Structure 1
Amino acid sequence: MPMDRKRYPANWNQIATQIKKKANWYCENCNRPCRKPKEDRFQFEDRIKPTPWADELYQEKYDEELGTVFLSKLTRFTLTVAHLNHTPEDCRPENLKALCSVCH
């Protein structure tokens, strides 16, 4: 379901960043480490090497059409912020949770 920006406060990006920082860029459900803004693939790989999630990141897939190998699961390491009561207008901290894209 796409995000209806009209239902979110003007400072939503700031609120969401605060929630993500508080969670230390880890999913609060499955404990998956997630990429920080402007963190490139190599910085992210270095940061998660000591975690069990590193193995999942390295599952490579060969794309015959493009003739290249890519990390097929990298996009699953994106942190989002969920409204627990599904009401975007309700941005109380107790209603917000940092979740990876898979858990969200």
Structure 2
Amino acid sequence: MSRYSKDWQQIALTIKDQAGWRCSKCRCQCLRPGDPTKHLTKSERTKITLTVHHHNRMPEDNRPENLIALCTSCHLSYHNRKQSNIPPGQLSFDF
């Protein structure tokens, strides 16, 4: 059973929209839904994919103040510094 709420995709989309599709840490401009990506490699797409991180590492807690929009690199850095409940190898990103 997933620890994420059924409306997680919509919550995450809202957080990304509010961030202007920029990483809140490094300010990288990330891909928006519908942006052309055929000219990008998978690695390039991954680098500019925006994700949403839970500050308190609890996927059930979707209060806006607990959520932050991060590019893939910055999100993984939080997890690599053991600031997460999910090992980096278990993270998945939609492309």
* TM-score, normalization by structure 2: 0.71
Task: Provide the C-alpha distance between the structure 2 equivalents of 1:86 and 1:36, rounded to a whole number of angstroms.
Answer: 25
Determine whether 1:15 maps to 2:11: yes
- Flag the structure with larger Rg: 1
Q: For 1:82-97, what aligned pairs fall within 5 Å after superposition?
A: 82-97=53-68
* TM-score, normalization by structure 1: 0.65
Listed as ranges, the gaps of 5+ residues in structure 1 are 46-56, 58-69
Give the 4+ runs in structure 1 shifted more than 3 A: none
Task: Provide the C-alpha distance between the structure 2 equivalents of 1:82 and 1:28, rounded to a whole number of angstroms.
Answer: 11
Aligned length: 75
Listed as ranges, the gaps of 5+ residues in structure 2 are 76-95
Instruction: Return the structure number with greater strand share.
Output: 1
Identity of counterpart residues, as a percentage?
A: 48
Please give the secondary structure, in 2, of the residue aligned with 1:102: helix
Query: Which structure has more RCO (C-alpha within 8 Å, separation ≥ 6)?
Result: 1
